[in-house]
C-alpha cells in the first residue's frame, strides 16, 4: 500500500467521524423506564408466584450469566454447598437468556468461548455455536453443578448491605426477599440494560415494536431455533441499528419479511465468518485432558501478539494479530522503534479494512448499496463483525438499506420512520440499538452496595473505580466482583477473564473455610498499590480518532473515568500468569482474613 493511499484514507476516516460526532454523546440514548418500561418485559418465561425468602445462604451470586455460573460452579467444586443464584431473568444464561434474536451466534470460537466444556463433556456443534445451544449449555452447567436448587429468577436485587456484627450481607429484592449471605458475588455483566435511540417521536409509533434483546416471536412467528418467522410474510419491518446484533438478525429477517428496511447510521465492518460444524472424530482426538485451558491460553497469546508456534483457533481475531506481527518482523532491527511499531499496526489495519470493503463490492450487486455498506474507520474502533450472509441479504429485492449518512433516523411517527424527509411506512420497528455501557456500575446493576460503616460503592468509586484484581474493593468485605477490567481486560474472549476470576474467588473461599475464617477484605494499601500498578500502564479509553460508539464513549473518551477502563499493564497473558501464581502460593497477598 502506498503512502498516498494512507493519507487519503486518513482524511476519509476523519471526515466520516466528523459527520457522526454529536455534543450529546451518551445522552442521545433514552433510558428504558417509565412509559418505555414495557420494552424490558420478559417475553420468554412467565413470572411465577413464590413466597419471599428470609433465610441464610453461604454465597449469594447476583447474575446467572457466564460470570455467575462459572463462579458458582467453582465454589461448588471446592465444597461450598449452598450457593444461591439470583437473576432478573426467568432462567440462567444472562446475555444468552435475553438475546434470543434469530441468528444469534457467538463471535469468538465456541471452543474458547463456551465455559466449562471439558467439565460438562460438551462438544460445541459448530465453530461458532448459535444462541440456543449456548443457552442450553448454560442450563447444562447449572444442572451439572446443582445450581437450580434455591435459585431465584425474575428477581432483581434492590439492596445489598453489610452487617458488621455477624459479617453477613443482607440481600433485599424486588420480590420482597430479605435474606442473608456470608459472601456475595456480583456477576451483573456490562451489556444487559437495553437502551433506545432518542429519536423524536419514538413514543408515537402505533405499530408493533420491540428491542432485539426481547424478541417477540409471538409477533414474528418462528423461534430462536431458526424456524421461519412466518408471521412476517405480509409485514413491512424496520430495523434501526447496524451493530453486531443487527448483522446477525438481518439475514433471517430478510428471508421472512414482505419488506425489510435496515436503517443505518454507521456501517459495521463485516469480515468472513467461515463457520463449520465440528467433526466429532477430530474433537475426540483433540479433546484430551486440559484441552480447553490450552485452547484459551493459546487464543489469548495469539490474539495479543505473543504468537505461540501454533494458532489453534485461526479466525479474524488472530488474523489481525498475525498481520501486525509480520509487519513488525519486517522492520529492520535498527529501525524498530515504538513509533515504527504503531505505524505497522496502522498499515495492517488499513490493509485489512480495504479487504473488508473489497469483499462488499464482490458480494453486493447494487453499487450504491455496496458503497453505503462500507465502514470508514479502523477495525477496532467498533466491535468487528463476521458474517457470511449479512451482505448477501441486501441482494434480495425486498431488503432495503436506508443509509442516513451518519445522521441517524430523523423522526418516528405513528406509521413509520422518516429519514431525510422521506417517510417509510412500516408495521413493526425493531430496535437493534444496543445496551447501556457508559453509565455507572451501580446504575446498571440496579442497586448501590452498602459496605462497612455505611460506605456506598458509588461513594467509594466517586473518583473512579478502585479494586484489587478487579475483584475486591476496600470497605466491602466478603464481596467479590466478576468482570474484566482491572485484570486481564481481554475483550476478544470475555469468558476467559471471568473464568480466571471464578477460580480465584473459589481459592479464596476454600482458604477461608479451611482456616475457619468468616471474613475477608482487601486492605486499603493493597487496593492502592494495585491501582498504582494499573496506572503505570495505558488506559483503554477508546480512541478519540475513532468514529463514535460505545468503545470511545460516543466520541467523548476524555469524559470517561479512566480508571474504569484499565487492565494489567503487561497485558492479558501476563495477568493470567500473575493471578494463577497469586492464588496458588497460599499467601493471598493483599487480603486480610479474620474470624
In this structure, what C-alpha cell is assigned to residue 191?
451489556
* Residue 45: other Cβ atoms inside 10 A: 12
406 vs 571, which CB is nearer to ligand NDP? 406
Give CA–CA dist 463/306, Å, rounded: 34
The residues in 225-264 that bind ligand NDP, with binding defined as CB under 6 A, are: 240-246, 248, 263
Tell whether residue 434 is a contact of ligand NDP (CB under 6 A): yes
Q: Is 187 in the site for ligand NDP (CB under 6 A)?
A: no
The three-point CA angle 67-72-78 to 5° equals 130
Rounded-to-integer distance, Cα 529 and Cα 428, Å = 53
Does the footprint of ligand NDP cover residue 383 (CB under 6 A)? yes
CB of 22 to ligand NDP, least distance (A): 10
Residue 30 or residue 181: which is nearer to ligand NDP going by CB?
A: 30
Q: Does 102 bind ligand NDP (CB under 6 A)?
A: no
SS (H, E, C) 522-543: ECHHHHHHHHHHHHCCCECCCC
Instruction: Tell me if 191 contacts ligand NDP by CB under 6 A.
Output: yes
User: Which of 26, 269, 399, 433 touches ligand NDP (CB under 6 A)?
Assistant: 433
Of 144 and 191, CB closest to ligand NDP: 191
Q: Which is nearer to ligand NDP, 81 or 422 (CB)?
A: 422
- For residue 15, with 0-12 CB atoms within 10 Å meaning exposed, 13-18 middle and 19 or more buried, which class applies? exposed
467 in contact with ligand NDP (CB under 6 A): no
Is residue 495 involved in binding ligand NDP (CB under 6 A)? no
Distance, CA of 225 to CA of 174 (rounded, Å): 32
Stretch that binds ligand NDP, among 76-84, 102-110, 200-208, 315-323 (CB under 6 A): 102-110
The verdict on 409 binding ligand NDP (CB under 6 A) reads yes
Query: Residue 225: how many CB atoms within 10 A of its CB?
Result: 11
488 grid coordinates = 486481564
| Binding test (CB under 6 A) with ligand NDP, winner from 115, 475, 477, 549 | 549
- Closest to ligand NDP by CB, 111 vs 476, is 111
Q: Give the CA distances from residue 92 to residues 116, 139, 578, in Å, rounded to whole numbers and listed in that order.
A: 15, 6, 31
Cα end-to-end span (Å), the chain: 65
Q: Is 521 in the site for ligand NDP (CB under 6 A)?
A: no
Query: Which of residues 426, 432, 445, 509 is near ligand NDP by CB under 6 A?
Result: 432
Report the nearest approach of ligand NDP to the CB of residue 566 (Å). 19
CA distances from 416 to 217, 239, 402, 404, 411 (A): 21, 11, 13, 15, 9
The answer to the question of residue 199 lying near ligand NDP (CB under 6 A) is yes
Q: Minimal distance in Å, beta carbon 155 to ligand NDP?
A: 24
Number of Cβ within a 10 Å radius of residue 22: 15
Site membership for ligand NDP, residue 115 (CB under 6 A): no
Give the nearer residue to ligand NDP in terms of CB position, either 548 or 571.
548
Could you give phi then psi for residue 18, rounded to 5 degrees? -60, -40
Find the binder of ligand NDP among 98, 550, 575, 582 (CB under 6 A): 550
- The footprint of ligand NDP on residues 262-281 (CB under 6 A) is 263, 265-266
Cell 425493531 belongs to residue? 430
- Burial tier of 178 (Cβ tally within 10 Å: 0-12, 13-18, 19+): middle
Residues making contact with ligand NDP (CB under 6 A): 20, 105-107, 191, 197, 199, 240-246, 248, 263, 265-266, 383, 408-409, 432-435, 549-550
Amino acid at each position: 500500500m502506498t503512502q498516498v493511499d494512507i493519507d487519503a484514507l486518513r482524511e476519509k476516516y476523519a471526515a466520516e467521524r466528523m459527520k457522526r460526532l454529536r455534543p450529546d454523546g451518551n445522552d442521545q440514548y433514552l433510558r428504558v423506564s417509565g412509559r418505555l418500561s414495557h420494552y424490558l418485559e420478559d417475553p420468554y418465561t412467565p413470572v411465577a408466584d413464590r413466597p419471599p425468602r428470609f433465610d441464610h445462604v453461604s454465597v449469594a451470586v447476583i447474575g446467572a450469566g457466564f460470570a455467575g455460573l462459572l463462579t458458582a460452579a467453582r465454589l461448588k467444586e471446592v465444597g461450598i454447598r449452598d450457593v444461591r443464584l439470583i437473576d432478573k431473568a426467568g432462567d440462567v444464561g444472562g446475555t444468552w437468556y435475553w438475546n434470543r434474536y434469530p441468528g444469534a451466534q457467538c463471535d469468538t470460537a465456541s471452543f474458547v468461548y463456551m465455559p466449562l466444556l471439558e467439565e460438562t463433556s460438551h462438544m460445541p456443534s459448530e465453530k461458532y455455536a448459535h444462541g440456543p445451544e449456548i443457552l442450553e449449555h448454560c442450563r447444562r452447567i447449572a444442572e451439572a453443578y446443582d445450581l437450580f436448587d434455591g435459585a431465584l429468577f425474575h428477581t432483581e436485587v434492590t439492596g445489598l448491605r453489610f452487617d458488621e456484627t455477624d459479617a453477613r450481607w443482607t440481600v433485599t429484592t424486588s420480590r420482597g426477599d430479605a435474606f442473608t449471605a456470608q459472601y456475595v458475588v456480583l456477576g451483573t455483566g456490562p451489556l444487559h440494560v437495553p437502551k433506545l435511540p432518542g429519536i423524536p417521536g419514538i413514543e408515537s409509533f402505533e405499530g408493533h415494536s420491540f428491542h432485539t434483546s426481547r424478541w417477540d416471536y409471538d409477533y414474528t412467528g418462528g423461534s430462536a431455533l431458526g424456524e421461519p418467522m412466518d408471521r412476517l410474510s405480509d409485514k413491512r419491518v424496520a430495523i434501526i441499528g447496524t451493530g453486531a446484533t443487527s448483522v446477525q438478525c438481518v439475514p433471517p429477517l430478510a428471508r421472512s419479511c414482505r419488506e425489510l428496511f435496515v436503517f443505518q447510521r454507521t456501517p459495521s465492518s463485516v469480515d468472513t465468518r467461515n463457520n463449520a460444524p465440528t467433526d466429532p472424530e477430530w474433537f475426540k482426538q483433540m479433546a484430551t485432558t486440559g484441552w480447553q485451558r490450552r485452547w484459551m491460553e493459546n487464543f489469548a497469546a495469539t490474539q495479543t501478539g505473543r504468537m505461540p508456534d501454533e494458532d489453534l483457533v485461526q479466525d479474524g481475531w488472530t488474523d489481525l494479530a498475525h498481520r501486525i506481527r509480520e509487519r513488525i518482523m519486517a522492520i529492520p532491527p535498527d529501525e524498530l522503534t515504538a513509533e515504527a511499531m504503531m505505524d505497522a499496526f496502522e498499515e495492517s489495519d488499513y490493509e485489512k479494512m480495504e479487504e473488508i470493503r473489497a469483499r462488499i463490492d464482490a458480494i453486493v450487486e447494487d453499487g450504491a448499496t455496496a458503497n453505503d455498506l462500507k465502514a470508514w474507520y479502523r477495525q477496532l474502533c467498533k466491535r468487528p463483525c463476521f458474517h457470511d450472509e449479512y451482505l448477501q441479504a441486501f441482494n434480495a429485492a425486498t431488503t432495503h438499506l436506508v443509509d442516513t449518512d451518519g445522521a441517524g433516523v430523523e423522526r418516528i411517527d405513528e406509521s413509520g420512520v422518516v429519514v431525510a424527509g422521506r417517510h417509510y411506512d412500516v408495521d413493526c420497528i425493531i430496535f437493534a440499538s444496543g445496551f447501556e455501557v457508559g453509565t455507572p456500575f451501580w446504575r446498571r446493576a440496579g442497586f448501590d452496595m452498602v459496605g462497612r460503616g455505611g460506605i456506598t460503592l458509588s461513594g467509594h468509586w466517586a473518583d473512579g473505580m478502585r479494586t484489587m484484581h478487579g475483584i475486591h474493593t476496600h470497605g466491602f468485605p466478603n464481596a467479590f466482583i466478576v468482570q474484566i477490567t482491572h485484570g486481564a481486560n481481554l475483550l476478544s474472549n470475555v469468558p476467559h477473564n471471568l473464568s480466571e476470576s471464578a477460580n480465584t474467588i473459589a481459592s479464596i473461599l476454600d482458604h477461608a473455610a479451611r482456616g475457619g475464617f468468616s471474613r475477608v477484605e482487601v486492605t486499603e494499601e493493597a487496593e492502592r498499590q494495585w491501582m498504582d500498578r494499573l496506572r503505570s500502564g495505558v488506559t483503554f479509553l477508546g480512541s478519540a480518532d475513532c468514529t463514535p460508539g460505545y468503545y470511545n464513549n460516543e466520541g467523548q473518551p476524555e469524559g470517561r473515568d479512566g480508571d474504569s477502563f484499565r487492565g494489567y499493564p503487561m497485558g492479558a497473558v501476563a495477568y493470567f500468569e500473575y493471578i494463577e501464581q497469586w492464588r496458588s502460593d497460599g499467601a493471598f497477598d493483599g487480603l486480610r482474613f479474620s474470624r
